[in-house]
Structure 1
Amino acid sequence: MRSGLALTAGLLAGLWLDARRRTNRAERVHPPSGHFMSVGDTRLHYLDHGPADGGSPADGGATPMVFLHGNGTTADDWALSLLDKAARNRRCVCFDRPGHGYSEATPRRDAGPAAQAALLRAATRKLGLERPIIVGHSLAGAVALAWALDFPEEIGGLVILSAFTHPTPRLDFLPMMGPAIPAAGPLLSHTVLPPLDRLILPALMRRIFEPNPVPPSYDELPPDFLLRPTQLEAAAAQLAALIPGVAAMAPRYSEIRCPMAVVAGREDRIVDPHAHAVQLHNAVAGSTLHLLAETGHMPHHARPDAVMAAIERVERAIKTVPAHAAS
C-alpha cells in the first residue's frame, strides 16, 4: 500500500511540475500585449484600441465599446476576430475577465455575473469611458446583462452574442466544474486535468465553432496558455455561478431600456438560440434579434460583418435616445 501511495504521490508531483513548466513556457511564447490596471485588490489586463477621443455620441462622435470574452478564452478572442474593424473610428477596450488571460482571479464568492459586472464597470469608469456599448459573448453575455441591470445609467447599449441568459438545465456543465471543487479543485487543475484537456481541446474547439471551421488565426493562442491551472479554476468557478446568476436576473430583463441587439447562430451547438437569444429578445422591449443562418457559437469569427452591423445599429439607436431617457 505504501508503494502505491508513493507511486501516486510521485505521479501527481510529476504532473504538477509539468503543468508549471508548460505554463511558464506558454506565457513566454504569448506575453501580455495590452495594459494593466488595478481595481481594488484585483489586477486586470486589457487591450485598448482605436482613437482615445472619438467624441461623444451626443455631438456625433463614435460610442466607445467594451468587449467581454466568453469562458475559457481571453481578450485575444476579439483581437483575432473583429476588434480591428470595430476600432477604426471608436475606442474599444477588451478586458481579460477575472482569472483569464493575464487578469487576476477574484475570490470564488465573486465569480457570478453580477460581481464580474461590478468589477469591470469600475475598471471602465477608471479608464474614462462614458456610457459605452457593452458587447458580451457566451457566458460574458450574462455579465453584460448584469451590468445593464445594476448600472443602467452608465451604459449606452448592449450587444449580446450567443449568450446563456436563462436557467436551463445543463448536465454537460458538471465535468467542467471540477476545478471549482473546494480543496480538490486546485489539485486537479494542477495535475490531471491539463493533460486530459489537451487531448479533448481540438474536438471541443471544433464543436464550439461548428458548423463553421476553427479559424487559422486561433493557432496564435497556445493551448497550454488556455489550460493554465489558474484559468481552469476561474472558468470552472464562473461556470458554476452562471445558472444561479441568470436565474436571479432573468425575471428582471424587462427592466432593460437601453438599445440592445441579440445575436446568435441558428446552428449553435453550445447555447440553444431558441431557449436563450429568442427568450431574451422577447423579454426586452425594443431589442432586435439577429439569428444568423449557417452560423454556430462564434458569430464574431464566422460572421463579423453581421455582428458589426448589429453593433452599428445599436450605436445609431443610442444617438437618437437622450442619455437621461435610457437610464
Structure 2
Amino acid sequence: MLKHQALQPRIGKIYHVDKYQVHVLESGDLNASPVLVLHGCGSLAEEVLLPFAQSEFRIVAPDRPGYGFSDPLPPAERGPVGQSIWLERLLDALGLRGIPVVAHSIGCAPALHLAARRPELVSGLLLISPCCRPVPSKSLPLLRASAAPVVGSLIRRYVISRWADFFLDRGLKSSSYPNPLPPHLSTLPAAHVVNPGAIETMANELRAFNRDMELLQNLPGDLPLHVLFGTEDRIIQPSWHIDWLRQKHPCPIVRLIEGVGHLPHHVAPGVARQMLSSLAREQAHLISQRQPLSGAAAAG
C-alpha cells in the first residue's frame, strides 16, 4: 500500500505569475517549437508529460493551480474561466504566444476558454478525452464531504491524504479501465498527487465546471482542433462531449481508439504524439496559406 508514498516528485522551474507560484516541467526537444500541455483533474504536470518524453517538440507542462507545487487561485477563480485567465498570464510570463495546446480531461476546459477568448495565443488544440460539455451532476459523496466546512479539512488531512496510495491506485485503475494500468504510471508520487490542497482544488473546479462551460463561446473556425478519445472511456461519455464540440467548432478532427479507456495518451502514446505532429503540420499549412495573402494585401 505504500509503494508510491516514498517516491519523490519531479521538480522543475518555479515562475511567479502575479502573486502566484507556478511550477513548470519541460521535456522533449528543448530546442524545438514549444507546446503547452495541461493535465486533468487530480493529476500533475509530471503525469501528462510521460507520453511526450520523446516528443519532437519542446513540451511545457505546468502544474495547474492548486496542484503539485503551483499555488491555488482564489475560490471564485478556480473554475475553467478563471484558469484560462491564469493560462493567459502564464504564457505571457513564459514569453509564449501562438502555440499549440494539448490538454487531457478537465484540463481541456480552460484550454477551450483560452482559445475562444484569446485566439491569437493558441495556434491549435489537441484535446485528449476532453471533459468540456456541462454534465449531469454526480453524487461523489467523499469528494463533497472533503470540501465541506470544518469536517472537510479533517477528511482531507486524516483520511484521504493518509491513504494516498489507495486513492491514487483506485483513480488510475478506474481511468485506465479496461486497459491494464501502464507500468510507467507507478512512478507517480502518491503523497504529492493526493494531498489536502489538491483534494480541495478538485472539489472546487468540479463545482464550477458546469457554470463556466455554459459560458463558452464558439471557437474560431480556422483553429485546428483535434480530438482523441478511447471508445471504452468510463470516466466520461465520448459522444456527449464530441457532439458538443461539433456545435462549437465547424470541423473538429476526431480519432477514436477502439477498446481504450480514459487514458489513451498513456495506453497508446504513439497515437497522441502522431496527432500532435499532425496538428503542427496543419498549423504550418494554415500559416503558409495566409502569408501570400498578407503579402498581396500589402502590395495592394
Q: Which residue of 2 aligns with 1:78?
A: 48
Q: Is the counterpart of residue 267 in structure 1 residue 232 in structure 2?
A: yes
Superposed displacement of residue 282, structure 1? 4.8
Q: Is the counterpart of residue 104 in structure 1 residue 71 in structure 2?
A: yes
Match of 2:24 among 46, 49, 52: 46
Counterpart amino acid of residue 276 in structure 2: I
Superposed displacement of residue 246, structure 1? 1.4
Distance 1:149 1:136, change over 3 A: same
Alignment size in residue pairs: 288
Alignment RMSD: 2.4
Counterpart amino acid of residue 176 in structure 1: L
Residues 62-109 of structure 1 deviation map (CA, whole Å, 9 limit, x = unaligned): x420000001110111232x22222x3x22100100111111111111
Match of 2:280 among 307, 310, 315: 315
Contact 2:119 2:220 in 1 (8 A): no
State how 1:101-250 maps to structure 2 within 5 Å: 101-173=68-140, 175-195=142-162, 198-249=165-216
Q: What SS class does the counterpart of residue 85 from structure 2 fall into?
A: helix
Percent identity between the aligned chains? 27
Superposed displacement of residue 238, structure 1? 1.2
Q: What SS class does the counterpart of residue 136 from structure 1 fall into?
A: strand
The 2-side partners of 1:43 and 1:72 are apart by 18
Q: Which residue of 1 aligns with 2:297?
A: none
The 2-side partners of 1:324 and 1:74 are apart by 37
Residues 125-161 of structure 1 deviation map (CA, whole Å, 9 limit, x = unaligned): 2212231111110010111101101111111100111
Q: What SS class does the counterpart of residue 95 from structure 2 fall into?
A: coil
The 1-side partners of 2:223 and 2:288 are apart by 9
Q: What SS class does the counterpart of residue 53 from structure 2 fall into?
A: helix
Q: Which residue of 2 aligns with 1:18?
A: none
**Residue segments in structure 2 that go unaligned for 5+ positions in a row:** 291-300
Q: What SS class does the counterpart of residue 101 from structure 2 fall into?
A: strand
Contact 1:72 1:235 in 2 (8 A): yes
Counterpart amino acid of residue 45 in structure 1: H
Q: Which residue of 1 aligns with 2:260?
A: 295
Q: What SS class does the counterpart of residue 43 from structure 2 fall into?
A: coil
Out of 310-319 and 166-175, give the one that drifted further. Answer: 166-175
Match of 1:284 among 236, 244, 249: 249
Counterpart amino acid of residue 27 in structure 2: H
Task: Give the TM-score, by structure 1 length.
Answer: 0.81
Contact 1:135 1:160 in 2 (8 A): yes
Residues 285-312 of structure 1 deviation map (CA, whole Å, 9 limit, x = unaligned): 1320111111110011011111122211
The 1-side partners of 2:247 and 2:258 are apart by 20
Out of 169-178 and 266-275, give the one that drifted further. Answer: 169-178
Superposed displacement of residue 230, structure 1? 1.1
Counterpart amino acid of residue 114 in structure 2: W
As a proportion of its length, which structure holds more helix? 1
